[in-house]
């Protein structure tokens, strides 16, 4: 924007911040102490002690920054000198030639243009030098947050909203960029430029001009802070609505099939639209408030600028100043409008960026429910004998889940856990994986309490085939190799062969490079289970957990998968958590769980002979299976009858 026309640039707000929003509001507003604490925590990411190359970049960027501001305050001088030279040239003797007379003014105009180019060059060089620093800070903080999310307990992840959490992390990383850009790259140069401009105005003109400028700046800053605080409350409302809408959209899309099952597309669209309506209303308020902020800032600055130019105009009429002084004061004030403009933007962006980064730091402060003990060793390699000793567990102390569970799974043996829903069967596998720690008793692997060794080493020793196999939205090869990413191509294919899925995969057009879709939805339930079995085979753990691995499959598929599971579990310590009792009849021991206690234990024949809970469950499942089989036969016979009747009718219609 040209300084000649005296226009005042408005404090434009980046469109990205208005559309992305910030993290959900904290319970109380961020005060100065909390803001300083957040900046203090962020500083090691900006000034990393282990990266001297990045420190050097920061130092060079600051040197370039100072050079840019020196050029900034010198550009109006070139403008003044050029104006005075051109004025003098109009009345000069041109007998020596017009070119000679205009040489100095033209050179000064060129110097003015060169100064503008140099100013832009320094600013771009500063940004280029600092780009690696800011991007490194964003990467490091984002990586730390991502790693921390995986360290948090299952309890946290069962309570969170995926969309809201990803939004908080995204806004937090953008907040880092905002703070670095608007604080590190603009606060120091803004203060420096303002001080230089104020000194020049006081020296070149007089303290009356400086008084007007100081009064303008004080009024401008006061109005900006008051209006920005008002706007921040509106933005928090907008961002909360944005996060809510995003969470509902993600939740609905993750449950796409459920929405279709119940035909509730309109309900989901209505819920999402209600959130969007709240976001729309809050967004309108936010942009309207920005308009009022811009108007107020423009009015305040224009009054100050007009006052100074009137003073300069009167001084010219009195013969105290030249036209070049008038042009210079205009250029200086226009130049000063940029740091003033940044004061408002910096305050807004600082508050918004701090809120976003603070929300991300809140995630980093979320306590890890399950921690390794200091200096905990890795679990030694062993055959994988399991022992539960009087294990108790509760999510809520008033509602115990497990009540003194004790059992052994000798190395290489298979123990099955059965029981009605809600008995605590799946909780046992979660405790074994250390998703939670037992609230009483202990769990050992080869005699080592799993709380005394590293979590990763415990999980490395255990393979899991769950009921609901969720695959990554990647290739079949990636999902199988997930069991052991370092496995060779041949090992991966052998695992697929052992899981009896290699033939199916090889018939696909893209073979092992076939994409499985979101959560593996392009594969059937049986195919997904075989992929899960293959990656468990590739992991080759000494301990295997089958958590109702076939309960969601049809009888035919279940028999095929069960055969693969039997081969996988051969020679491994296996814990089977089952709903269908037909899958555990060959287990070395069956534990019957009810209301968090083991009420029966023994082999299938022994439990049937007792005629208690296990026998009752077996008989109910057998009756249900027989009823289903009878119904299937009736339907088949009915279909055949329809065919036969149709054939006789056709025969009767034939001519004799």
Q: At what angle do helices 323-365 and 52-90 cross, to 10 degrees?
A: 160
Residue 604 included in any domain: yes
Q: Of 247-261, 519-533, 626-640, give the lowest mean pLDDT range.
A: 626-640
Strand order in the sheet with 414-418: 462-466, 543-547, 573-577, 414-418, 589-594, 597-602
The verdict on 289 and 408 lying in the same domain is no
pLDDT given for residue 450 in this prediction: 92
pLDDT given for residue 22 in this prediction: 37
Name the 3-class secondary structure at 462: strand
The verdict on 204 and 295 lying in the same domain is yes
Contact status, residue 573 vs residue 543, Cβ threshold 8 Å: yes
Residue 293 included in any domain: yes
The verdict on 102 and 222 lying in the same domain is yes
pLDDT tens digits for range 539-556: 888 998 888 766 656 666
pLDDT given for residue 372 in this prediction: 84
Q: Of 9-18, 46-55, 256-265, give the lowest mean pLDDT range.
A: 9-18
The verdict on 291 and 353 lying in the same domain is yes
pLDDT tens digits for range 116-174: 788 778 878 877 777 777 777 777 777 777 777 767 766 666 666 555 566 677 767 77
Contact status, residue 362 vs residue 447, Cβ threshold 8 Å: no
Contact status, residue 168 vs residue 23, Cβ threshold 8 Å: yes
**Four-CA torsion 508, 513, 519, 521, nearest 10 degrees:** -20
The verdict on 551 and 531 lying in the same domain is no
pLDDT tens digits for range 609-636: 998 888 998 888 888 777 766 776 776 6
pLDDT tens digits for range 486-507: 889 999 998 888 888 888 888 8
**Four-CA torsion 478, 484, 488, 493, nearest 10 degrees:** -60
Q: Give Cα 652 distance to the centre of its chain.
A: 72
Residue 75 pLDDT greater than 70, yes or no: yes
H or E stretch at 478: helix 476-481
Average pLDDT over residues 27-43: 63
The verdict on 261 and 305 lying in the same domain is yes
Residue 376 pLDDT greater than 60, yes or no: yes
CATH assignment of the domain containing 323: 1.20.1560.10
pLDDT given for residue 20 in this prediction: 35
Of the candidates 194, 513, 441, the one whose C-alpha atom is nearest the C-alpha of residue 340 is: 194
Of the candidates 585, 467, 519, 612, the one whose C-alpha atom is nearest the C-alpha of residue 250 is: 519
CATH assignment of the domain containing 428: 3.40.50.300
pLDDT tens digits for range 105-115: 677 677 777 77
DSSP letter (8 states) at residue 268: H
Domain extent at residue 196? 32-365
**Dihedral of CA 629/630/632/633: which sign?**
positive
pLDDT given for residue 31 in this prediction: 56
Pairing relation of β-strands 573-577 and 414-418?
A: parallel
pLDDT given for residue 337 in this prediction: 78
Strand partners, 389: 442
Contacts of residues 558-562 at CB distance under 8 Å and 24 or more positions apart, as own/partner, are 558/583, 560/500, 560/526, 561/526, 561/529, 561/530, 561/533
pLDDT given for residue 8 in this prediction: 36
Residue 116 included in any domain: yes
Q: Which pLDDT band, with edges at 50, 70 and 90, does 528 fall under?
A: confident
Residue 251 included in any domain: yes
Contact status, residue 401 vs residue 394, Cβ threshold 8 Å: yes
For the chain, the domain total comes to: 3
pLDDT tens digits for range 589-601: 999 998 888 999 9
Q: From CA 449, how far away is CA 379, in angstroms rounded?
A: 9
> Bigger pLDDT: 248 or 3?
248
Average pLDDT over residues 623-652: 59
The verdict on 325 and 436 lying in the same domain is no
Contacts of residue 299, Cβ cutoff 8 Å, sequence gap at least 6: none
pTM of the model: 0.59
Residue 374 included in any domain: no
The verdict on 266 and 197 lying in the same domain is yes
The verdict on 349 and 325 lying in the same domain is yes
Residue 217 pLDDT greater than 50, yes or no: yes
Average pLDDT over residues 358-369: 74
Residue 25 included in any domain: no
Q: From CA 224, how far away is CA 229, in angstroms rounded?
A: 8
pLDDT given for residue 245 in this prediction: 82
The verdict on 387 and 506 lying in the same domain is no
The verdict on 126 and 208 lying in the same domain is yes
Q: Of 143-157, 300-314, 408-422, give the lowest mean pLDDT range.
A: 143-157
pLDDT tens digits for range 469-478: 778 888 989 9
Which of 493, 513, 535 finishes a domain? 535
Residue 265 pLDDT greater than 80, yes or no: yes
Residue 451 pLDDT greater than 70, yes or no: yes
Which of 365, 387, 411 finishes a domain? 365
pLDDT given for residue 18 in this prediction: 35
**Four-CA torsion 504, 507, 510, 511, nearest 10 degrees:** 50
Q: Which pLDDT band, with edges at 50, 70 and 90, does 346 fall under?
A: confident
Average pLDDT over residues 302-316: 86
The verdict on 124 and 146 lying in the same domain is yes
Which of 484, 501, 535 finishes a domain? 535
Q: Which pLDDT band, with edges at 50, 70 and 90, does 640 fall under?
A: low
pLDDT given for residue 165 in this prediction: 66
> Bigger pLDDT: 40 or 104?
40
Residue 438 included in any domain: yes
Percentage above 70 pLDDT, the chain: 80
Residue 517 included in any domain: yes
User: 3-state secondary structure string, 221-257?
Assistant: HHHHHHHHHHHHHHHHHHHHHHHHHHHHHHHHHHCHH
Average pLDDT over residues 559-568: 74
Q: DSSP letters of 282-326?
A: HHHHHHHHHHHHHHHHHHHHHHHHHHHHHHHHHHHHTTSS-HHHH
């Amino acid at each position: 924007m040209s300084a000649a026309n005296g226009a005042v640039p408005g404090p434009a707000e980046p469109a990205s911040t208005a559309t992305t929003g910030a993290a959900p509001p904290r319970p109380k507003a961020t005060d100065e102490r909390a803001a300083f604490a957040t900046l203090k925590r962020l500083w090691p990411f900006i000034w990393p002690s282990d990266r001297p190359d990045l420190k050097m970049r920061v130092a060079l960027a600051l040197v370039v920054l100072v050079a840019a501001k020196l050029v900034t305050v010198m550009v109006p001088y070139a403008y003044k000198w050029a104006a005075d030279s051109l004025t003098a040239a109009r009345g000069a003797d041109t007998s020596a030639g017009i070119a000679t007379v205009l040489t100095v003014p033209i050179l000064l105009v060129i110097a003015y243009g060169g100064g503008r180019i140099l100013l832009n060059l320094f600013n771009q060089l500063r940004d280029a030098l600092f780009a690696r620093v800011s991007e490194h800070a964003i990467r490091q903080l984002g990586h730390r947050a991502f790693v921390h999310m995986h360290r948090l307990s299952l309890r946290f992840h069962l309570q969170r909203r995926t969309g809201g959490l990803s939004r908080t992390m995204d806004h937090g990383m953008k907040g880092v960029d905002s703070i670095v850009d608007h604080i590190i790259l603009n606060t120091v140069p803004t203060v420096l430029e303002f001080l230089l401009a104020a000194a020049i105005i006081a020296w070149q003109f007089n303290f009356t001009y400086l008084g007007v400028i100081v009064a303008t700046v004080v009024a401008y800053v006061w109005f900006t802070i008051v209006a920005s605080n008002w706007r921040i409350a509106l933005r928090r409302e907008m961002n909360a609505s944005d996060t809510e809408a995003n969470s509902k959209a993600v939740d609905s899309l993750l449950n796409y099939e459920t929405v279709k099952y119940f035909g509730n597309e309109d309900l989901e669209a209505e819920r999402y639209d209600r959130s969007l309506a709240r976001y729309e209303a809050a967004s309108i308020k936010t942009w309207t408030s920005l308009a009022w902020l811009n108007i107020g800032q423009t009015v305040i600055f224009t009054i100050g600028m007009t006052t100074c130019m009137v003073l300069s105009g009167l001084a010219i009429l009195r013969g105290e100043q030249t036209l070049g002084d008038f042009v210079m004061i205009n250029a200086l004030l226009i130049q000063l409008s940029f740091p003033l403009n940044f004061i408002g933007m910096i305050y807004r962006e600082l508050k918004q960026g701090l809120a976003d980064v603070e929300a991300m730091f809140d995630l980093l402060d979320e306590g890890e429910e399950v921690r390794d003990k200091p200096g905990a060793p890795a679990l030694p390699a062993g055959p994988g004998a399991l022992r539960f000793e009087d294990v108790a567990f509760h999510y809520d102390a008033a509602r115990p889940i497990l009540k003194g569970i004790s059992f052994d799974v000798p190395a290489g043996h298979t123990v099955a856990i059965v029981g009605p829903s809600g008995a605590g069967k799946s909780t046992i596998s979660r405790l074994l994986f250390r998703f939670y720690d037992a609230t009483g008793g202990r769990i050992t692997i080869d005699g080592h309490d799993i709380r005394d060794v590293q979590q990763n080493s415990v999980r490395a020793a255990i393979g899991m085939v769950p009921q609901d196999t969720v695959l990554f939205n990647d290739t079949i090869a990636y999902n199988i190799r997930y069991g052991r990413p370092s496995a060779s191509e041949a090992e991966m294919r052998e695992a697929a062969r052992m899981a009896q899925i290699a033939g199916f995969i090889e018939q696909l057009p893209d073979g092992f490079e076939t994409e499985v879709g979101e959560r593996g939805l392009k594969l059937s339930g049986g195919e997904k289970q075989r992929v899960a079995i293959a990656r468990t085979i590739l992991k080759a753990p000494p301990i295997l957990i089958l958590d109702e691995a076939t309960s969601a499959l049809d009888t035919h598929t279940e028999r095929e998968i069960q055969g693969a599971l039997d081969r996988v579990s051969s020679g491994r310590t296996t814990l089977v958590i089952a709903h269908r009792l037909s899958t555990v009849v060959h287990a070395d021991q069956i534990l019957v769980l009810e209301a968090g206690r083991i009420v029966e234990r023994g082999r299938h024949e022994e439990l049937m002979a007792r005629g208690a809970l296990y026998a009752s469950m077996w008989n109910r499942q057998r009756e249900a299976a027989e009823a289903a089989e009878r119904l299937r036969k009736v339907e088949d016979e009915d279909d055949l009858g329809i065919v036969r009747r149709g054939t006789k009718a056709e025969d009767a219609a034939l001519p004799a």
